[in-house]
Amino acid sequence: MRTVSWISIQRLGKVAGLLALPSLAIGLYLGLVWAPPDAMMGNVQRIMYVHFPSWIATALAYVTAFVCSILYLVRRRESYDYLAQAGVEVGVLFNTTGLITGSIWGRPTWGVWWTWDPRLTTTAIMLVIFVGYLLVRAFLEDLDARARVGALVAIMGFVTLPVVYFSVRWWRTLHQPQSSPSTVDPRMVLALRVMMIAFALTASYLMSRRYELARLEAAAERAEVEPGMTDG
């Protein structure tokens, strides 16, 4: 059963990786060349085509980590812990690109690189919690304790995700609230959707590779602790 799920993740990851490259190429063309500039912001609005997809990839990765952490605590299967690790690490990567591209977009539109606005602050807190997950795992030596504590931190960190999403509605904020596709030029919507799919595929590919790494590291650690034991 474990072997079947591992092969499925590897296959899905390969397919996602193969589809990610053309999707990224098409999305970049649509976003940088084909879609029109924004009436108010001009060309700087094109940052949206990497900024927003970064958050889609972040959400996908953190949701994976959250679901797999719960499944690990309930079923105690190591493969769930491997996938949770993958979700957190890839989520931290896209969380970082989202924050940096947001900061670069903020400078010409808000006049500042950073402000302690509710959306930006909650996003930064989310990143700190998930970086904490990676640090906690690095410091704990016991395999089981590492997986259990990691799962609890991932579940705790996930609570910030809906707070981040609703922060623009709950509090007064510089960041714009969620906009409707019906109010945006259809070319912009298409470019954004293609980039969202491309980033989701990239995140899926990277998670499959990170899953493989976690599996290999655990197999090597087990071989060290219990000589003669192998992982299926």
Question: Which residues contact another protein by CB under 8 A?
Answer: 28, 32, 41-44, 46-47, 50-51, 54, 93, 96-97, 100-101, 104-105, 107-108, 202, 206, 209-210, 212-213, 216-217, 219-220, 223-224, 227-230
Minimum distance of another protein from residue 182's CB (angstroms): 26
Contacts of 187 by beta carbon, 8 Å cutoff, 6+ apart: 30, 34, 35, 36
Minimum distance of another protein from residue 4's CB (angstroms): 20
Distance CA(48)–CA(121), nearest Å, equals 19
Tell me whether residue 70 or residue 175 sits nearer to another protein (CB atom): 175
Tell me whether residue 3 or residue 43 sits nearer to another protein (CB atom): 43
Minimum distance of another protein from residue 82's CB (angstroms): 12
Tell me whether residue 71 or residue 185 sits nearer to another protein (CB atom): 185
Distance CA(60)–CA(181), nearest Å, equals 21
Identify the residue whose tokens are 């504590």. 149
Q: CA quadruple 23, 25, 28, 33: dihedral positive or negative?
A: negative
Distance CA(165)–CA(168), nearest Å, equals 7
Distance CA(190)–CA(13), nearest Å, equals 25
Minimum distance of another protein from residue 29's CB (angstroms): 13
Tell me whether residue 160 or residue 208 sits nearer to another protein (CB atom): 208
DSSP bridge partners of 42: 38
Tell me whether residue 2 or residue 107 sits nearer to another protein (CB atom): 107
The 3-state DSSP class for residue 56 equals helix
Minimum distance of another protein from residue 59's CB (angstroms): 17
Tell me whether residue 102 or residue 118 sits nearer to another protein (CB atom): 102
Tell me whether residue 75 or residue 232 sits nearer to another protein (CB atom): 232
Minimum distance of another protein from residue 48's CB (angstroms): 9
Compute the chain's Rg from CA coordinates. 19
Minimum distance of another protein from residue 69's CB (angstroms): 21
Terminal CA-CA length for the chain: 10
**Using an 8 Å Cβ cutoff, are 167 and 122 in contact?**
yes
Q: Within its chain, how far is the Cα of 113 from the centroid?
A: 22
